Amino acid sequence: MSLHETVRTTLRDRILSGALPVGAALPTTAELSVEFGASRGPVRQALAALATEGLISTGQGRVPTVMRAPFAHAIDDFFSFSAWVTAMGRVPGQRTIELALRRPPASVAAALGVGGDTRAVDLVRVRSIDDEPVMIERSTFVEHVGRLIFDFDPDAGSVFTALLDRGVSLEHGEHTINAVAANDQDAAALDVAVGTPLLRVHRLTRSAAGEVIEVADDRYRPDRASLIVHNSRTRTAPAPSAVRRTTTEGSR
């Protein structure tokens, strides 16, 4: 692990453990440099990361202060339902409704960046926490990645990590969030009435090279799951939070 990662995870652990309670001041960058045997560069990199996580508050001339404790130390688990649930100490579950290789509708093909006559792999699953259904996930993968799913059991665990293990690059996510009424399939899968408001997340997953790998439509029972987004004003941070708001009706 690189030096700035060590500093970052160490400090996060101290906040999580209560050694650094909410409101407490962190050591100065100079002190941290001595403690970790590092120069100020890596230390500041670690603090900047914690600031954009929303754990600490920084500012010129001000001593960094603990703002809140992390739910868990997981961060980028946005990508993996299983990792997210596991990090919370709950038990994730999944039941596959459908796994098929077929020609996607034109809109999905366009999102995937493939021609209309190219086949793709559809995967529909119900995801659960402690055996209670929480989300219905409709994914479409580009063919060369989707074919890998036929080689393992999607009910066994995380498709995301299984694909990573097979060398698939899944680096960037673009999530468009809004609300929809449950349709017949949603209602049956999530055990709610038709028309119940659901939290809908439309996901576009890209490789490191920028190629679209997956297009997905996830629908959550809002009484069982929410999304939390933290952000700080740009100000001085090396990297801003990656949040943007948009209208649906073709804003550009």
Partner DNA sequence: GAGTGGTCTAGACCACGTG
Partner DNA sequence: ACGTGGTCTAGACCACTCA
Count the residues of the shown chain that bind a copy of itself, applying the rule CB under 8 A: 81
Handedness of CA 107, 108, 111, 115 (dihedral sign): negative
CA–CA gap between residue 224 and residue 242 (Å, rounded): 25
Q: Which helix (H) or strand (E) holds 123?
A: strand 120-129
Task: Please check whether residue 85 is in contact with residue 131, taking contact to mean a CB–CB distance below 8 angstroms.
Answer: no
Task: Please check whether residue 186 is in contact with residue 136, taking contact to mean a CB–CB distance below 8 angstroms.
Answer: yes
Smallest gap, in angstroms, from Cβ of residue 62 to DNA? Answer: 5
User: Side chain identity at 245, as an amino acid letter?
Assistant: R
Using CB under 8 A as the binding rule, the residues of this chain from 37 to 76 that contact a copy of itself are 45, 48-49, 51-54, 57, 59, 62, 65, 67-68, 71-72, 74-76
Smallest gap, in angstroms, from Cβ of residue 211 to a copy of itself? Answer: 10
Using CB under 7 A as the binding rule, the residues of this chain from 62 to 91 that contact DNA are 62-64
Q: Which two tokens stand for residue 156?
A: 């066994």
CA–CA gap between residue 51 and residue 45 (Å, rounded): 10
Determine the interface stretch with DNA among 33-41, 112-120, 160-168, 179-187 (rule: CB under 7 A). 33-41
Kindly write out the interface string for residues 233-252 of this chain, putting x where it contacts DNA by CB under 7 A and - elsewhere: ---x-x--------------
Smallest gap, in angstroms, from Cβ of residue 167 to a copy of itself? Answer: 15
Q: Which does 29 bind (CB under 5 to 8 A by kind): DNA, a copy of itself, none?
A: DNA
With CB under 7 A as the contact rule, the residue among 106, 156, 209, 243 that binds DNA is: 209
Smallest gap, in angstroms, from Cβ of residue 60 to DNA? Answer: 4
With CB under 8 A as the contact rule, the residue among 129, 162, 163, 190 that binds a copy of itself is: 129
Distances (CA, A) of 167 to 68, 163, 171: 36, 7, 12
Q: Which does 170 bind (CB under 5 to 8 A by kind): a copy of itself, DNA, none?
A: a copy of itself
Binding of DNA at residue 4 (CB under 7 A)? yes
Residue closer to a copy of itself by CB (options 98, 233) is: 233
Distances (CA, A) of 22 to 8, 18, 191, 202: 17, 8, 39, 35
**Triad 184, 186, 188: Cα angle to 5°:** 70
